[in-house]
Structure formats: structure tokens, C-alpha cells
Amino acid sequence: MASSPEIPNSIIHYHYPMSPYARRITWYLNLRKIPHATCPQPIMPPRPDLSSLLGLSYRRIPVLAIGRDIYLDTRLILSVLSRRFPASDPRFLPLSPATTPNQRALQKLLGSWTVDGGIFDRMAHCIPLESALLSDPKFVADRESFTGWSWDKAEYAQVRPEALVDMRQAFGLLEDVLSDGRAWILGTETPSLGDIEAVWPFDWLAQMDGALPADVISARLFPSTYAWLERFRGAVREAAEAAEKRSAQGGASMQVKGEEAWRHIVQSEFAEAKPEFDEDDPTGLTEGAEVQLWPTDSGFTNKDQGTLVGLTKEEVVISMQTKQGGEEIRIHAPRWGFRIREVDKSAKL
């Protein structure tokens, strides 16, 4: 096997730039100036880099590899990056920390609200009816199986007003928080993880032509929120330019193709030591069980199967073999919004 390419910090971010979820990770890495590799993906499956090479059934974007460990879901990815690259590490820039209990709670609540609070559904229903994507039968069929709801234009036309009403309420919540004149959502001096948790659906929609009618949601109606969006974009633009400059000097981030990414992963060490296992987990699952793992909110028909090797309050870890090469990798997912089921061995008989 050819030798593995040098990947900065052994981080590979599989994503496509239009993905609002993936931007959370791109922003985090760039704001912290953490050099990494990206492996660009198409906006819909098949994604052979993930399915045929790594053997992942999980179809959501983004996915992050660190060494031989593969992390699913931005909630887990952000918490793993914060743990592995702590603010105290002088090689990287810190984000403003959430120091008070109120800041910590607001940061957590903002993350749950934007990821689990139905915002993604509402935001998707604000995509303008004229969007080319809604007229592409392949994309529509793919997203119908992904979300479980109809992406038919007539249905979208019916739901859109309701989605706008809900998003207006969501913009209103942010406007309330920002109305005391704070520059950043937790009242910090510079951006914090709280800004990343909060900003992504609003940034995505506010920049999409034709998504938001100006008499319902606009800079005039939500001035503090729109000013904050601009401020945040300025901060990430600056960070992205700095990252590009470092790459041009050969010092930092890079792009890799799927085959190179796979080679790096299978030739790496595990980034994490043996995962912890809580024997008293309420599910009663035992270490070494053969299980299936899948998300419950979207992309729920894509189930991964492997050996259960880690189980904590926050995280589940399964071990499986890459499809190409049969090398062991560990797949990490958050507990919230994921289901783990022991495989009924008798069903195979």
C-alpha cells in the first residue's frame, strides 16, 4: 500500500460547502486556526468515499475523521474537537469561553434549539419554490427518503407560510437576546461556541435569495440579529482568508481525495484510547454486543452495524471494518437522537 499522505492533525472533514451543518465545523476549525484536510463530497449520495471505501452506511454530512476514529453528527464533532484541542493549547486560537452557568446553559440550549428544536425542518421549508433543487426529481426523491416528508412543490407551497411564521419567531428570540447591544450571543468579547451553535440556520436562510420575504424577516425588522450575522460573517471570512494564506505557504489545511483520505485513516493509529463502557447503562447493552446504530431524526434508513465497544452518557462507539481493505475503524455517535439495537442473531438463521 502506498504510504499515507500527511494530514494536518490527522483531521479529515468530509463535507460539501453548501451544507449548513458542515459550516459549523468549517467555522470552528478556521476560527480556532486548527489545520486540517477536507474531503469534498457531492450534495447527495452515492458518496463512495464514505460508503465504498470506509463502509459507512450513515448518509449525513458532515463526517469527521481523526486518525482511525470516525465521528458522526456536528454535536459530537464540536464537543470532541473542543476536548482534543482545548483552549489552553497554545498552538491554536481559543474561542471565547462560556464561563458563567448562564453562559454555559445558553450555549447548550442554543445548540439543542437549532439542531433538535425543529429549526432544520422549518428552514428547509423556507427554500424558495423557484429553487432549481426543488425541480430536480433526483434531489427531491433523495431528500424525501432522507427527511421522511414530501418535497413536492405543491406541498412546499402549502407549508411555506407556516414555516415563515415559525422562523419569524426564531429570529425574534435572537433579537431579544441581542437587544441589549451585546456583540456576541453570550455577551463575550469575541465569538464563542455559542455563536456557532446559534448562527448557522439564520445565516443560511438570510443569504438565500428569495427565501425570506422582507416584510416578514429582514434587517429592518430584526436589526440586532442581522448586524450580528454580518459580524459573524466578517469574523469567519477573516479566519478563512488566514487559513488560505497559511495553506498557500504550505503550512496548513489541504484538500484530499477519498482514496487518500481512506489510506490515511487505515494507516493511522486510533486517536482515542480504548473507549469507556458504562456497564449500568439504562439500555442494558453489553460490551462486545453486535449492534446496529442509526439516527432517529433524519437519514434513519441508513443503519451501521458493528461491535459495541464504547457507551457513555454522551457517546456510543462501535467497531467495524472498512469496506475497502477490511481495516478496523471506530464509529462514534452522540446518544441523543441515535438508536442502538442489538442484532437479533436468531433472525439470521
Among 74, 103, 107, 253, binds ligand GSH (CB under 6 A): 74
Q: Residue 42, class by beta-carbon neighbours within 10 Å (0-12 exposed, 13-18 middle, 19+ buried)?
A: exposed
Q: Three-state SS for 88?
A: coil
Beta carbons of 116 and 337 less than 8 angstroms apart = yes
Of residues 135 through 164, those in contact with ligand GSH by CB under 6 A are 146
Query: By CB under 6 A, which span of 17-25, 153-161, 226-234, 253-261 interacts with ligand GSH?
Result: 17-25
Of residues 167 through 226, those in contact with ligand GSH by CB under 6 A are none
Provide the 10 A C-beta neighbour count for residue 106: 20
Among 9, 20, 225, 331, binds ligand GSH (CB under 6 A): 20
**Dihedral sign for Cα atoms in the order 133, 139, 141, 142:** negative
Q: Does 115 bind ligand GSH (CB under 6 A)?
A: yes
* Least distance CB 220 / ligand GSH (angstroms): 29
Q: Does 61 bind ligand GSH (CB under 6 A)?
A: yes
All residues at 6 or more sequence positions from 193 whose CB lies less than 8 Å from its CB, including other chains: 28, 78, 82, 95, 98, 107
Provide the 10 A C-beta neighbour count for residue 341: 14
Q: Does 235 bind ligand GSH (CB under 6 A)?
A: no
Given the complex with ligand GSH, which of 74 and 96 has the nearer CB atom?
74
What does the DSSP assignment read for 13-58? Answer: EEE-TT-HHHHHHHHHHHHTT---EEEE--SSS--HIIIIII----
Given the complex with ligand GSH, which of 268 and 298 has the nearer CB atom?
298
Binding mask 282-301 for ligand GSH (x = CB under 6 A): ----------------x---
* Least distance CB 36 / ligand GSH (angstroms): 17
Per the structure block, which three cell numbers stand in for 225? Answer: 440579529
Residues that bind ligand GSH in the complex, under the rule CB under 6 A:
19-21, 44, 59-61, 73-75, 115, 146, 298
